[in-house]
Structure 1
Amino acid sequence: MLTPVVDSDGAPFWEYAARGELRVQACADCGLLRFPPRPCCPGCRSFASAWRAVSGRGRVWSYVVAHPPLLPGYAAHAPYHVVVVELAEDPRIRLVGNVVPEAGAGIGSVPPGAVRIGERVRVVFSADGVPQWVPERA
């Protein structure tokens, strides 16, 4: 499996994720949520920031089903869904991940075609702290 490349702006995101917490950067002055993390608030231009816990719930904004050939770390898991999820707290905040049927199930465990745009999902974390998404079906 491939691991994310972590920079200084995004390091707190991955530290929280490793503990099973989904947090996004927020402006400490105006409160605007922002992702990806960056040094300056796009709303008020403040450099003050904090990491705010979010519910981990959202909707599938877009998706693709990845098929081989892929990077070697992912090829054995194909086909699998890669989704863009808009967070419930702010639909402008969108995170990318894969869909799994339950926590720790790994990549490729949801059949192709089982995901729909607009579907409600919630975050779970893989054993190595990578956010994944579980469908919230009635």
Structure 2
Amino acid sequence: MTRPTPKTVPWDRDFWANAERGVLSAQRCDDCGRLQHYPKPVCSECLGANIRFEALSGRGEVYSFTTVRRPELPEFEAEAPYTVVDVLLDEGIRFLSRLADEQDAPGLKLGDKLTTVFKPVGDGTKHLPYFVKVRD
């Protein structure tokens, strides 16, 4: 079964365009300065509509993680087990994604340094950010 391609909505088009170019991005509110992810039509802090996407470093550390052994959706069964990571980015926001390489999962611990890579998904028209462990 093929993994579904994420759908695009008006307020996340720039996120996907940036991902296509290999750039991790998040919305910045020009009214209050808040940085937010997931993309939303308004700022989740002040409800301001003056939001724009800005490039992020793509670097951070493991805040939390879990291994999915039995996915809820059948489209993901062939990929199990896989590791979902909650990454605290250097910019101070958290970003939920997956490890790009499950060989990074054994021994993964809180605080490990990660960086972003992008992989095509579904029909190949979208690229999702994944994370890989930074080697010392």
CA offsets per residue over residues 79-132 of structure 1, 9 Å max, x none? 111111111111xx222211124xxxxxxx326533212211000000341100
1:118 correspondence with 2:111: yes
CA offsets per residue over residues 7-66 of structure 1, 9 Å max, x none? 222222112111211111001234321122223334444311111111000111111111
What corresponds to 1:40 in structure 2? Answer: 42
The 3 A distance-change label for structure 1 pair 47 and 69 is closer
Question: Which residues of structure 2 form unaligned runs of 5+?
Answer: 122-126
For the residue of structure 1 that corresponds to 2:103, the secondary structure is coil
User: Partner amino acid for 2:13?
Assistant: A
For the residue of structure 2 that corresponds to 1:73, the secondary structure is helix
Aligned mate of 1:18, from 17, 20, 25: 20
Shift of the alpha carbon at 1:76?
A: 1.6
User: Partner amino acid for 1:29?
Assistant: D
Matched residue pairs, number? 129
Provide the C-alpha distance between the structure 1 equivalents of 2:45 and 2:74, rounded to a whole number of angstroms: 40
Greater relative contact order (Cα < 8 A, sep 6+): 2
Aligned mate of 1:64, from 59, 63, 66: 66
What corresponds to 2:100 in structure 1? Answer: 100
Task: Give the helix-richer structure, 1 or 2.
Answer: 2
Scaled by the length of structure 1, the TM-score of the pair is 0.80
The 3 A distance-change label for structure 1 pair 89 and 68 is same
Sequence identity, in percent? 35
Provide the C-alpha distance between the structure 1 equivalents of 2:28 and 2:132, rounded to a whole number of angstroms: 25
Question: Which residues of structure 1 form unaligned runs of 5+?
Answer: 102-108
